[in-house]
Amino acid sequence: MTPGFARRYDGTGPHYEVWYGKVDIAPGRALWFRYTTLDGKKQEASTWAIYFDGEDCVGGKDNYPLEQLAALDGPHRGFHLSDELHLDDGQAIGRAGEVSWKLRWTDSGRHFSYMPHVLEKIGLAKSTYDDCLLDLRVSGTIEVGDEQIDVDGVPGMVGHIQGKRIMGYNWAWSHCNCFDDNPDAAFEGLSVRALLGDRVSPKLSAFVIWVDGRQYSFRTPMGMLLNNSEYGQDHWVFSARKGDVVLSGEARSPNNVALVEYTDTDGSHLWCYNSKLSDLTVRIQDPSRGLDRILRSSGRAAFEHVNREEPAQGPLIS
């Protein structure tokens, strides 16, 4: 199985686990899907989805008893409630509200772990995040109401989060493997203020980018503290340095985003401003290789901002 993908929940709480995916269907259209287990003050297994179509968003969530989740064995090391509600490292089958999907993919082998697993093993991290399937080519069918959408080899990704609680107090995240002029490039970044007991950490920011067949990562412990990051509900400006190599960029969401409410194992809530149709510009400079490249994605990047401040408007999904 793909490293970082396998289910960790063994029936013991508190625990939450999330696999989420993005499918870049075409300009102006994208799918976000999510499979979750939650064992805390609230207990449930659930599937989530949002179909982004220009300014319109169609989304839903279906809940199931946690006990319905299949036993943790070889074929079910991902998420499995039935043959129609199943996720492994090669396919995703599911439905949520008016949206359903049957997808399979080929994996480029690119992956990134934001939180080194050794920190979890020695008790310093209460959760981990792996973008274990960071750069996919996805095929299959998506249904939204009466509309069927066929996809064949379009860009996508699947990430995996698990732990005793959601560590973030707030964060910004962006992903793109659909740049305007460089279809082989891929990028991911995450900047988070973590909950450390009753305290909140400074921003910890890590990034990875593949360009011209080479990987550049910015995730050293000191670098995560020193990397620059300023984010809000609809924008994120960041920069990072590793030796002489410099990464900088900006993500910006459109006017209309999908607001989603998450529940932590302690019963507290977070709100995610979710867009899969965002603009992203990334610049990577490597003087030793004579590289100074600007990558742009016009409305085809993922950008999410999550915080714990209850919004005035109600969420699309809760």
Q: Domain for residue 181, yes or no? A: yes
pLDDT in tens, 277-297: 999 999 999 999 999 999 999
Within a domain: residue 5? no
How many structural domains are present in the chain?
Answer: 1
Average pLDDT along the chain: 93
pLDDT of residue 194: 86
Residue 125: band (very low, low, confident or very high) from pLDDT cuts 50, 70, 90: low
199 part of a folded domain: yes
Which band of pLDDT confidence, cut at 50, 70 and 90, is reported for residue 116? low
* pLDDT number for residue 122: 38
Of 282, 278, 307, 276, nearest to 294 (Cα)? Answer: 282
Please give the residue range of the domain that contains residue 22.
15-307
The verdict on residue 1 lying in a domain is no
135-189 pLDDT, tens per residue?
Answer: 999 999 999 999 999 999 999 999 999 999 988 899 999 999 999 999 999 999 9
| Mean pLDDT (whole number) for 45-52 | 98
Residue 167 lies in a domain: yes
Is 25 a domain residue? yes
Please report which confidence band the pLDDT of residue 118 belongs to, taking 50, 70 and 90 as the band edges.
very low
Which of 125, 91, 114 minimizes the C-alpha distance to 79?
A: 91
In a domain, 313, yes or no: no
Whether the pLDDT of residue 119 is over 60: the answer is no
Stated pTM of the model? 0.95
Dihedral pair phi/psi, residue 111, rounded to 5°: -155, 165
**Phi, psi (degrees; rounded to nearest 5) at 287:** -60, -35
Note whether residue 8 is domain-resident.
no
